[in-house]
Amino acid sequence: MDQFKAFSQQLNPLAAKLGKQFGQVKQFAQEKMGTAEDITELPQEYKDLEKRVDALRNMHNGLLRVTRTYQTSTYDYPAQLQETLGEFGRTVTDRIQQVALSPAEKAASEAAALEERKEAAPPKTLAHALSRASFQGSEQLGLEEPMGSALFKFATVQEKIGDFRMKMDNEIATKFVQPFNTTLNTQIGFAMKARKNVQNARLSLDSAKAQYKTARPERSEASRVEVEQAEDLFVAAVEEATTLMKTVLDNPEPLRNLADLVAAQLAFYKEAQEILSDVAPEIDELSVTQEALYRNSRSE
């Protein structure tokens, strides 16, 4: 008997929960079919907040879809050139250091570097690929040739630009993508969950009101109490959701994240501009020299 009583006590809350959920589903279906009456209206302030939070959420999703690109190093060079492991892994800095070595030292150095590169993948940006291809061209032509010398300078600059770009990517991933995603999944996510609770509370309230209207006399008082309880839960849910939505909208973090993204881009373009400004006159001078040599050879 005691076991049956205990089982009944456990079953009653479950039955009440299922009954509440059934009432919500029934109310929702009636509203969709247009047969529901006296639908509880949400406060205008609440509905305005919903629109603003939806816009903020859409903005987060849209920017994250694009900025997650910065987490993939090959985004500006999807078609990787067919390079051997040694060619692909040797940066311009590596190659410059090789020049001063004896043949035996060079062979030993290349063997050691090859083992290291098996474990550490070389950069796969477009700038690094340009650097490798340009340095290979300068080696083939020789530094005594104007084109070979220009390619060497260009390769050195492109390697640095690739490093600058990877630094920018890391800054954006750390200071924009990650915190933006955190805001979306926490504060905005909590607000969306609270709004769902409001929807469920409203459906429960309207379901309780509908049952109260059709309640038998002996159930009238109990139904009235259920309506009052549902109203209290609805008001509390609206207040909680309103507070959370206001917190999301007032949060200064997303704008700070955007400022950090702009700062990372500015630093990259500034560094790239400075280093290109240094090498451009040198390559232009080599070009002028080559043109002069060409004209002299044609006039002879």
Give the torsion through C-alpha atoms of 45, 51, 54, 58, to 10 deg: -150
> The tokens 């079953």 sit on which residue?
11
| pTM of the predicted model as reported, rounded to 2 decimal places | 0.75
Residue among 125, 126, 97 nearest 112 (CA): 97
- Core vs surface per residue 204-243: b (16+ CB within 10 A) or e: bbbbbbbbbeebeeeeeeebeebbeebbebbeebbebbbe
Locate the domains of the chain by residue range: 85-164
User: What is the C-alpha to C-alpha distance for residues 36 and 203, in angstroms, rounded to an integer?
Assistant: 11
Please tell me the predicted confidence (pLDDT) of residue 152: 97
Q: What SS3 state is found at 36?
A: coil
- Give every CB contact of residue 275 below 8 A, 6+ residues apart in sequence: 157, 160, 161
Please tell me the predicted confidence (pLDDT) of residue 113: 55
Q: Please list the rounded mean pLDDT of every run of 10 residues in the chain (300 residues).
A: 52 48 51 59 96 98 98 85 49 59 62 56 88 96 94 97 98 98 98 97 90 81 88 96 98 98 98 97 92 77
* The residue type at 148: G
**Tens of pLDDT, residues 21-46:** 544 555 455 544 455 566 789 999 99
Please tell me the predicted confidence (pLDDT) of residue 84: 47
Please tell me the predicted confidence (pLDDT) of residue 13: 52
